[in-house]
Amino acid sequence: MATTHRKPPAPQPGLYRFSPLDFTTVGLYVAVAGFFALAGELLVPLLLQVAPSPAVASYGVNLIFYGSIGILALFAARQVAARDLRVLATRPWFTVLMVPAAVVAMMILTALVVSASGEVQTSENQAGLQALMQQVPAWLMVPVLVVIGPFVEEYIFRHLLIGKLSRRLNIWLCCVLSVVLFAAIHIAGQEAITLQALLPYLAMGTTLVFVYVWTGKNLMFSYFVHAAKNLLAVVFIYAIPPEVFEQLQQVQP
């Protein structure tokens, strides 16, 4: 009896044309992120009046920000996301095995570049997230850090900056822009931007760009890798007592 094999969906070039919703989503993302990076402290007194604690206020801002951008991003990329899921469904074992392999590769690359720099520096963004996670339960943080946040960032920094922009610019230039802007947005607002603070995000961005391009610009695969890495970080932080975590952060190589 002859067997049939599912074939990957045919390429759809029309999915990589910029749409008005793309520009709206990116514009809102940049405007809100830029405001909080440059003048976010102006909202602190107001937020503290409506929230019972700084942690609740910070969580509420992140939830509203990523929730609203996430809805727009999902609607804008719904056809690409559905197609990419169908592609991954044709080779499920590849997805199951390569997502954790990519996360391990990302961790190794990050450790190598940070060790090569000779100094570990935690960005304010990372320090703020770690402090927030120690005050907000995991079941509230997972939707933001593992589900919504990674999709928003993969949509903007991979799907738009590489998938769509590479129709107009050289793809390698798009890859470099993706890595640099991805790292920069994660340390925006710091008093001093240093290479040591950038390196972990540069390594993470490089890995995500590689898996995105390697899988034929598959948005959902890079999203799964990004989400898995964030989930691992969430589990790590919540599984370790705060006092032990603080001691680990003080250890220098």
Is 10 part of a structural domain of the chain?
no
pLDDT digits (tens, 9 = 90+) for 196-231: 778 899 999 999 999 999 999 999 999 999 999 999
Is 9 part of a structural domain of the chain?
no
Is 1 part of a structural domain of the chain?
no
Is 238 part of a structural domain of the chain?
yes
Is 113 part of a structural domain of the chain?
yes
Which residues constitute the domain of residue 167? 19-249
Is 178 part of a structural domain of the chain?
yes
Is 4 part of a structural domain of the chain?
no
pLDDT digits (tens, 9 = 90+) for 91-103: 999 999 999 999 9
Domain total in the chain: 1
Is 5 part of a structural domain of the chain?
no
d(CA 30, CA 135): 27
Is the entire prediction scored with pTM above 0.95?
no
